[in-house]
C-alpha cells in the first residue's frame, strides 16, 4: 500500500458510519439526529478522500425525494443538509490551510493532491485503459484477484491486459443491463427504490462514485 492509499481505511470507516446513520424504516427518512450524524461522518470521510464529496449529490436527491412532507420542506431540508456538509468540508480545508500553509493559494493548496499526487488519469491514459483499470479495481474489491493480476502481468503485455479487462468489463455491463431489463428484476428493483431510501442512496452513491 502506497502513502496515498493510507487514508482509505479511515475514509471507508466514516462512510460505513454514514450509511448506518442513513438507515430508516421503509419510505421514511432518518431522524434529525441521525441526519446530523450522517452529515458529520460524510464530511469526515471526505477529508480523508476528496472523491467522497461526490456522494453529497445522491444524498441530497434522496433527502428531497423521500419523506411524507410536501415537496418544499423536503427541498429546504435537502439544501440545508447538503449545504451543511459542504460548509463542514470547506471550513476544515480553510482551517488546515491557515494552519499549514497560509501563504499559498487556497485553491492550489486544496487541489494539490489531485494536481501532484493523483492527477486525472483520463488525460494520460485514455478512456478504454482507464475503464480497464476501473474494472480491475472493482473486481479486486469483490474478490481476491492478486494471483490473477500477477499471472497476467507476467505473461501478457500491458496493452493485452487492458484489452482483456475492457472486454470483461463490457461483457459484465451488457450482462447487468440484460439482467436489469428482465421484468421480474425490474419490478423488484423499482419496488426497492420506491420503498427503501437507503437502497436508493446506496445505488445512487455507487453510480456517483
How far apart are alpha carbons 188 and 146 in whole angstroms? 35
Closest CA to 165 of 143, 146, 138: 138
Cα–Cα separations (whole angstroms), residue 193 to 62, 188, 199, 209: 10, 9, 6, 18
> Which grid cell sits at 38?
450522517
pLDDT of residue 2: 37
- In the numeric block, the cell 450522517 is attached to 38
Closest CA to 21 of 31, 10, 8, 11: 31
pLDDT < 50 regions, the chain: 1-4
CB 29 within 8 A of CB 35: yes
How far apart are alpha carbons 117 and 69 in whole angstroms? 45
Cα–Cα separations (whole angstroms), residue 43 to 35, 127, 133, 134, 205: 12, 30, 27, 25, 15
pLDDT of residue 4: 47
pLDDT of residue 124: 59
Q: What is the reported pTM?
A: 0.69
Closest CA to 45 of 82, 80, 85, 81: 85
Per-residue pLDDT tens over the stretch 128-175: 677 777 777 777 666 777 777 778 777 878 778 888 888 888 888 898
CB 132 within 8 A of CB 169: yes
Closest CA to 131 of 168, 178, 105: 168
CB 122 within 8 A of CB 80: no
pLDDT of residue 3: 39
- CA atoms lying within 13 Å on the CB side of residue 50: 13
Closest CA to 97 of 87, 107, 83, 84: 107
How far apart are alpha carbons 47 and 85 in whole angstroms? 11
pLDDT of residue 93: 80
pLDDT of residue 85: 92
Amino acid at each position: 500500500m502506497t502513502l496515498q492509499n493510507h487514508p482509505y481505511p479511515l475514509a471507508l470507516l466514516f462512510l460505513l458510519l454514514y450509511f448506518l446513520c442513513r438507515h430508516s424504516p421503509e419510505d421514511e427518512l432518518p431522524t434529525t439526529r441521525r441526519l446530523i450524524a450522517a452529515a458529520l461522518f460524510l464530511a469526515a470521510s471526505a477529508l480523508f478522500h476528496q472523491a467522497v464529496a461526490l456522494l453529497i449529490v445522491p444524498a441530497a436527491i434522496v433527502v428531497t425525494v423521500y419523506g411524507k412532507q410536501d415537496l418544499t420542506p423536503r427541498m429546504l431540508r435537502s439544501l440545508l443538509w447538503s449545504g451543511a456538509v459542504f460548509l463542514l468540508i470547506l471550513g476544515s480545508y480553510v482551517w488546515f490551510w491557515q494552519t499549514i500553509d497560509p501563504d499559498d493559494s487556497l485553491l492550489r493548496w486544496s487541489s494539490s493532491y489531485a494536481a501532484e499526487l493523483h492527477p486525472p488519469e483520463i488525460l494520460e491514459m485514455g478512456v478504454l485503459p482507464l475503464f480497464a483499470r476501473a474494472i480491475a479495481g472493482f473486481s479486486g474489491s469483490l474478490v481476491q484477484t492478486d494471483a490473477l493480476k500477477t499471472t497476467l502481468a507476467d505473461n501478457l503485455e500491458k496493452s493485452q491486459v487492458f484489452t482483456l479487462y475492457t472486454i470483461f468489463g463490457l461483457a459484465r455491463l451488457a450482462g447487468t443491463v440484460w439482467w436489469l431489463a428482465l421484468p421480474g428484476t425490474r419490478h423488484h428493483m423499482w419496488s426497492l427504490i420506491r420503498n427503501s431510501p437507503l437502497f436508493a442512496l446506496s445505488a445512487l452513491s455507487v453510480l456517483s462514485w
